[in-house]
Structure formats: C-alpha cells, structure tokens
Amino acid sequence: MWHDLLRSGKLYELLQRIDEELCDEARRGGCDHCGGRLDAAHYSRKPRGGPNNLPVGYERRLSLCCARDGCRKRKTPTSVRFLGRKVYLGAVIVLVSALQNGPTPKRLARLRELLGVSRWTVARWRRWWLEDFVATVVWRAQRGRLMPPVNEAGLPGTLLERFVGEQLDRLVAMLRFVKGVTVSEPDP
C-alpha cells in the first residue's frame, strides 16, 4: 500500500541520498554567475507529512553559495525531497494528490489522518498539479518525452502510472522526473 511506503524510513533515506548526489553535482558545476567555488549554505525546512524518524538532516534544504567575494550568489540544486516552497514532503504531495482520483474516500481519509493533511490542503495540491504544474517550463519540456501523452486532468496519478517497477521505484522515478520544479524557473 502507498501509505506504508510513506511511513517507511527506506524511502526517505533514499531520497536524502539522491538530494546529496544532486547537491554534489551542482557543486562540481561551480557558480552559474562567475564560475567560483561553491560552499554549503543549507537552510532550515520544517517538513510535514513524513514519519517521526526522518533521517538526520532532513530538516535542511541543501543549497550552495558562491565563495567568491563580490558574487556570493546562491545556487539551490534540484531536489527529490521537496517540491518548491511547499512544506509537505514531495512524496506526500505526489501520492496524496494522485490518490485523490483513485482510492475510495475511506482510504483517502486514512491517508489524510496518518499524514495530518486537511482536505483543503489536498484540494490546493490538486489545483497546483492541474494549473500551476502544467504551466511550468519543466512540464512543458518533459511531457513530450511521454507517448502517448499523459492525461493532464488526472495528474499526478496519470504520470505516476507511467513509471515501472515496485511502488518505491515508481515514486522515486517520478520525483526525479519532476525535480526541476523544486527550483526557481529561469526568466523568459
């Protein structure tokens, strides 16, 4: 069951490792503005929806800052743990939103109870998938890779269905697919 996965420490440990790899990759790329060395400049988050035993460091959003005087520009790598500035964990937002279309009302109520998510929050996430997410540069660039096209009215569930494997593998693959929404989009 999906709610078992959301309570699993294994999921969150894997997502933490992936974020650390994404941060290391961004660090190796250097500053986007001057090419300078990047230092750690992580900032605090208060993630909601996860189990009580989240891995150490989960309350920090990994971020970098240019070490060169006069530049000091921040570079925040993409993330599979967080979806932009949302306070709930990305995995929670994906699964609860996806299940909004699929499960019985009883199952959805159980998930909301386990994760402490109000029905208004779930409705807001649903609107985000249907309105904001589909307008992102990330989605417009990525959706062409999926044939036949994904039914956007069923997001995120219809996207989650496209990935293969066990539940953990499918969820991680989807979070990797949409990870670009976790950082600010470039100006047009």
For residue 64, the cross-strand partners are: 40, 75
| pLDDT value for 131 | 94
| pLDDT value for 122 | 82
User: Do 164 and 108 form a contact (C-beta atoms < 8 A)?
Assistant: no
The per-residue pLDDT for range 158-173, each reduced to its tens digit, is: 999 999 999 999 999 9
Can you give the residue ranges of every domain in the chain? 2-181
The per-residue pLDDT for range 126-160, each reduced to its tens digit, is: 899 999 999 999 999 999 889 999 999 999 999 99
Spatial distance between the Cα atoms of 155 and 117, rounded to a whole number of angstroms: 19
| pLDDT value for 115 | 77
| pLDDT value for 181 | 87
pTM of the model: 0.87
How far, CA to CA in Å, does 173 sit from each of 28, 121, 133, 140, 179?
Answer: 23, 24, 17, 18, 10
| pLDDT value for 188 | 40
pLDDT under 50 in the chain at which residues?
Answer: 186-188
| pLDDT value for 70 | 93
| CA-based end-to-end distance of the chain | 41
User: Do 175 and 91 form a contact (C-beta atoms < 8 A)?
Assistant: yes
